[in-house]
């Protein structure tokens, strides 16, 4: 036991001595959370849109007022008229133009059929469809308000509720994703490098000729990164609660427990990489290509898995981050308990067990 | 005659069809400096790994400090020290941290480690460098420190795998003074080397060619037997018949 503590202390010294690693270790989660929280977001805010109002009547002005009040847009009137539409899209940063034809209100009152044209810059399809949805929603709101005052005989009013995330914020989606990404990256890369470094420097041989058990070498290598990763989990959660206003809906204990399982999965992966590589650079390359890429692509937080072709959906099943992502979302955002996540957790635990068995077998006890 | 601390009988190691070590037999008495020579790929490192409990022999028999290499590798590990050709301390730890770590993994108590490291630092004259990172020390000092660290648990036998690679002759000389001092205390030194001047420093020298021991005697008798003026010439005479190329 004393021997193990000596070893763990040494591992901590390695980590603490290496300022660059330390910066990556603790800077990465903070930078990622802040980046995703404030810069890389799918939410549309302050989009430049232009309005051509040929009607200048009560209805068009009301709608324009509602659009202008929305935080999503930065609206301004386009004085040049129809001929300038193409030019506006090409030269200014305008993403969408709303066009009210003349006699808008009159049409609405007398023919009960009024038209509004929405023209969007679809070179960025996501933004275009988000913006048109927003504008349509505002117009629908206005219509609903009018219907209530005039009372038509038949109306279907849709009552939409956005569960778990009523404001459609981006954070509930990416915080679990960032957690998966950061833990994967830190654990896999750091452990594989920490073990391979001993091989590269020749100190592994010294350790193996010592009476120190090879199994304990692995334990000692893994423990510091397990602890440091838990610190990372804590800092991500603190940031998301206090900076991004995203409270943990479910049990924090369950969340930390599940994260610990995922950290162990990642550590086992790192161990596996260290057994098949002999230099720190190869280990790093393996970790980056083999872990980072599939984790971003197949965990589901950047690209919905349901939208992928079937073969890719099947591949995504072997990516541990995919299961962790589902679990974190369930616990953290939906506030679900153990009964809702046990299947995913079982998959994760199974993967971890398999990885540990394979990597321990590969870890050569005797160098023969 | 001292007690025999290393005894091998027809010890062999096969990797598939390749015979890395071919039936080597020799005895090493306590306190001897035993030189283990051979060209690259001759099987020195494999032989040394078998004796230090790292690699399981294919056939034959061997005991190290009275322990069987087949059945008691863990006991062997406790009684031997080891220093490899690659420099074997942690460069990003300080002198004292390295000593503490290696003392620790050999199971020394905290007070024993403290005592040992004070003694060791004093012997090596490293008082001023205790808090410096090992990476900042000159190579000669690192090597002396590595040797002392390999001796921290008072092993009966020390295996040195090309310990002086890349070191200038003067530092090599100083390093050998450490080795002699250890041998005088009764520690058996098992050393592989490429430098023939170092072979002259050994009490007895064995020369391995293609996995087998071709000659084993004192440097003086070897030179006489092969009518050669230097160990260099003896080695050349024996090794030029080698079939294996260096790997």
String of DSSP letters for A76-125: EE-TT-GGGHHHHHHHS---EEEEEPTTHHHHHHHTS----EEEE-TTSH
Contacts of B105 in chain A (CB under 8 A): 3, 6-7, 207, 210-212
More confident residue, B168 or B47: B47
Domain of B193: which CATH number? Answer: 3.40.50.300
Domain-embedded: residue A157: no
Q: For chain A, say whether B84 makes contact (Cβ under 8 Å).
A: yes
Full residue range of the structural domain in which residue A329 is found: 9-40+169-362
Q: Mark whether A131 and A175 lie in a shared domain.
A: no
Domain-embedded: residue B198: yes
Contacts of A205 in chain B (CB under 8 A): 54, 82, 84, 86, 88
Q: Mark whether A53 and A23 lie in a shared domain.
A: no
Domain-embedded: residue A2: no
pLDDT given for residue A231 in this prediction: 92
Going by pLDDT thresholds of 50, 70 and 90, the confidence category of residue B140 is confident
Comparing A109-118, B52-61, B221-230, the range with the smallest average pLDDT is A109-118
- In this complex, do A205 and B88 lie within 8 Å of one another by their Cβ atoms? yes
Q: Mark whether A51 and A177 lie in a shared domain.
A: no
Q: Mark whether A186 and A113 lie in a shared domain.
A: no
Cβ atoms of residues B182 and B189 within 8 Å: yes
Using CA atoms, how far residue B151 sits from A360, B24, B190, in Å, is 30, 27, 13
Q: Which two tokens stand for residue A368?
A: 């023969």
Residues 6+ apart with CB under 8 A from A232: A25, A26, A29, A182, A183, A186
Domain boundary (A81, A115, A150) is at A150
Closest CA to B142 of B94, B206, B72: B94
Q: Which two tokens stand for residue A233?
A: 């989990």
Domain-embedded: residue B136: no
Which of A14, A202, A212 is closest, CB to CB, to B92?
Answer: A14
Give the pLDDT confidence of B102-129 residue by residue, as tens digits.
999 998 898 999 999 999 899 888 888 8
- In this complex, do B101 and A18 lie within 8 Å of one another by their Cβ atoms? no
Nearest residue of A to residue B74, measured between CA atoms:
A211
Domain boundary (A150, A178, A201) is at A150
Domain-embedded: residue A213: yes
pLDDT given for residue A80 in this prediction: 67
Cβ atoms of residues A305 and A298 within 8 Å: yes
Q: Which residues pair with B207 in a beta bridge?
A: B37, B215
Q: Mark whether A310 and A263 lie in a shared domain.
A: yes
pLDDT given for residue A366 in this prediction: 45
Cβ atoms of residues A188 and A229 within 8 Å: no
Going by pLDDT thresholds of 50, 70 and 90, the confidence category of residue B1 is very low
Average pLDDT over residues B74-91: 86
Q: For chain A, say whether B60 makes contact (Cβ under 8 Å).
A: no
Domain count, chain B: 1
User: Exposed/middle/buried for B181, CB within 10 Å: 0-12, 13-18, 19+?
Assistant: exposed
Domain-embedded: residue A143: yes
Q: Mark whether A324 and A202 lie in a shared domain.
A: yes
Domain count, chain A: 2
Q: Mark whether A209 and A345 lie in a shared domain.
A: yes
Domain-embedded: residue B124: no
Going by pLDDT thresholds of 50, 70 and 90, the confidence category of residue B232 is confident
- In this complex, do A17 and B92 lie within 8 Å of one another by their Cβ atoms? yes
Domain-embedded: residue A71: yes
Contacts of B92 in chain A (CB under 8 A): 13-14, 17-18
Q: Which residues pair with A96 in a beta bridge?
A: A49, A120
Contacts of B85 in chain A (CB under 8 A): 202
Contacts of B83 in chain A (CB under 8 A): 206
Full residue range of the structural domain in which residue B37 is found: 4-86+149-239
Domain of A70: which CATH number? Answer: 3.40.1710.10
Q: Mark whether A29 and A56 lie in a shared domain.
A: no
Contacts of A18 in chain B (CB under 8 A): 92
Handedness of CA B212, B218, B219, B223 (dihedral sign): negative
Domain-embedded: residue A264: yes
The ipTM, to two decimals, is 0.83
Domain-embedded: residue B80: yes
Domain-embedded: residue B159: yes
Comparing A306-315, B72-81, B161-170, B202-211, the range with the smallest average pLDDT is B161-170
Q: For chain A, say whether B107 makes contact (Cβ under 8 Å).
A: yes
Domain-embedded: residue A156: no
- In this complex, do A7 and B105 lie within 8 Å of one another by their Cβ atoms? yes
Q: What is the pLDDT along chain A (368 residues), one digit of tens a residue?
A: 788 889 999 999 998 888 888 888 888 888 888 887 777 666 677 888 889 888 888 888 888 888 888 888 888 888 766 778 888 888 888 888 988 888 888 888 887 778 888 998 888 888 888 888 888 888 888 887 877 666 666 666 667 777 777 776 777 778 888 888 888 888 888 888 888 988 888 888 888 888 888 888 888 989 999 999 999 999 999 998 898 888 888 899 999 999 999 999 999 999 899 888 888 888 888 888 878 788 888 888 888 888 888 988 888 888 999 999 999 999 998 889 888 899 999 999 999 999 989 888 887 654 43
Q: Which two tokens stand for residue A139?
A: 């117009």
Domain-embedded: residue B173: yes
pLDDT given for residue A368 in this prediction: 39
How large a percentage of chain B has pLDDT more than 70? 97
Give the pLDDT confidence of B8-37 residue by residue, as tens digits.
999 999 998 899 999 999 999 999 999 998
Domain boundary (A150, A182, A205) is at A150
Q: Mark whether A194 and A82 lie in a shared domain.
A: no
Per the prediction, chain B carries an average pLDDT of 88
Give the pLDDT confidence of B145-191 residue by residue, as tens digits.
999 999 999 999 999 988 887 778 888 888 899 999 999 999 999 99
- In this complex, do B53 and A209 lie within 8 Å of one another by their Cβ atoms? yes
Residues of A with CB under 8 A from a CB of B: 2-3, 5-7, 9-10, 13-14, 17-18, 201-203, 205-212, 366-368
Q: Mark whether A14 and A87 lie in a shared domain.
A: no
Contacts of B106 in chain A (CB under 8 A): 210-212
Which of B83, B104, B133 is closest, CB to CB, to A3?
Answer: B104
Q: Mark whether A335 and A237 lie in a shared domain.
A: yes
Q: What backbone torsions phi and psi does residue A125 show, to the nearest 5 degrees?
A: -60, -35
Nearest-Cα distance to chain B for A215, in Å, is: 13
Domain-embedded: residue B106: no
Which of B55, B56, B88 is closest, CB to CB, to A203?
Answer: B88
Domain-embedded: residue B180: yes
Whether residue B7 has pLDDT greater than 90: yes
Q: Mark whether A106 and A240 lie in a shared domain.
A: no
- In this complex, do A6 and B104 lie within 8 Å of one another by their Cβ atoms? yes
Residue B185's CB is within 10 A of a number of other CB atoms, namely: 10
pLDDT given for residue A35 in this prediction: 84
């Amino acid at each position: 036991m004393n021997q193990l503590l000596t070893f763990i202390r040494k591992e901590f010294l390695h980590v603490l001595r290496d300022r660059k690693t330390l910066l990556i270790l603790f800077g990465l989660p903070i930078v990622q959370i802040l980046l995703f929280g404030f810069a890389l977001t799918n939410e549309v805010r302050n989009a430049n849109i232009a309005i051509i109002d040929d009607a200048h009547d009560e209805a068009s002005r009301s709608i324009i007022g509602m659009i202008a009040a929305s935080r999503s847009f930065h609206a301004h009137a386009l004085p040049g008229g129809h001929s300038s539409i193409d030019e506006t899209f090409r030269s200014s940063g305008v993403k969408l133009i709303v066009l009210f034809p003349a006699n808008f209100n009159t049409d609405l009152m007398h023919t009960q059929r009024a038209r509004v044209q929405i023209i969007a810059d679809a070179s960025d399809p996501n933004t275009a469809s988000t913006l048109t949805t927003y504008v349509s929603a505002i117009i629908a709101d206005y219509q609903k308000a009018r219907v209530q005052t005039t009372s038509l005989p038949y109306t279907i009013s849709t009552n939409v509720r956005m569960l778990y995330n009523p404001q459609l914020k981006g954070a509930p989606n990416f915080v679990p994703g960032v957690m998966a990404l950061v833990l994967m990256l830190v654990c896999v890369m750091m452990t594989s490098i920490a073990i391979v470094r001993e091989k590269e420097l020749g100190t592994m041989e010294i350790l193996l000729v010592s009476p120190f058990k090879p199994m304990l070498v692995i334990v000692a290598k893994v423990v510091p990164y397990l602890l440091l990763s838990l610190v990372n989990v804590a800092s991500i959660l603190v940031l998301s609660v206090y900076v991004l206003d995203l409270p943990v809906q479910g049990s924090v204990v369950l969340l930390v427990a599940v994260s610990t399982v995922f950290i162990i999965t990642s550590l086992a992966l790192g161990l596996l990489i260290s057994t098949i590589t002999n230099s720190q650079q190869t280990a790093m390359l393996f970790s980056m290509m083999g872990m980072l890429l599939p984790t971003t692509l197949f965990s589901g937080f950047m690209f919905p898995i349901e939208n992928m072709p079937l073969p890719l959906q099947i591949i995504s099943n072997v990516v541990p981050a995919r299961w962790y992502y589902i679990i974190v979302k369930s616990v953290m955002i939906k506030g679900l308990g153990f009964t809702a996540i046990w299947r995913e957790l079982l998959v994760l635990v199974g993967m971890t067990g398999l990885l540990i068995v394979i990597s321990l077998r590969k870890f050569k006890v005797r160098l023969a | 005659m001292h007690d025999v601390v290393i005894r091998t009988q027809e010890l062999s190691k096969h990797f598939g069809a390749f015979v890395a070590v071919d039936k080597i037999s020799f005895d090493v008495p306590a306190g001897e400096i035993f030189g283990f020579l051979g060209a690259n790929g001759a099987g020195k490192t494999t032989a040394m790994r078998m004796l230090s409990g790292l690699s399981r022999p294919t056939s034959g028999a061997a005991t190290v400090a009275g322990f069987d290499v087949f059945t008691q590798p863990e006991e062997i590990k406790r009684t031997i020290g080891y220093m490899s050709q690659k420099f074997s301390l942690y460069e990003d730890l300080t002198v004292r941290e390295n000593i503490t770590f290696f003392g620790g993994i050999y199971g020394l108590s905290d007070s024993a480690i403290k005592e040992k490291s004070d003694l060791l630092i004093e012997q090596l004259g490293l008082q001023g460098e205790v808090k410096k990172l090992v990476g900042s020390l000159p190579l000669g000092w690192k090597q002396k420190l590595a040797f002392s660290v390999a001796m921290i648990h008072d092993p009966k036998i020390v295996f040195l795998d090309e310990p002086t690679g890349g070191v200038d002759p003067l530092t090599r000389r100083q390093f050998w003074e450490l080795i002699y001092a250890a041998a005088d205390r009764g520690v058996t030194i098992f050393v592989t080397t490429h430098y023939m001047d170092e072979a002259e420093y050994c009490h007895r020298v064995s020369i391995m060619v293609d996995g087998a021991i071709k000659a084993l005697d004192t440097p003086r008798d070897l030179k006489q037997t092969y009518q050669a003026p230097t160990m260099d010439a003896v080695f050349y005479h024996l090794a030029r018949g080698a079939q294996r190329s260096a790997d």
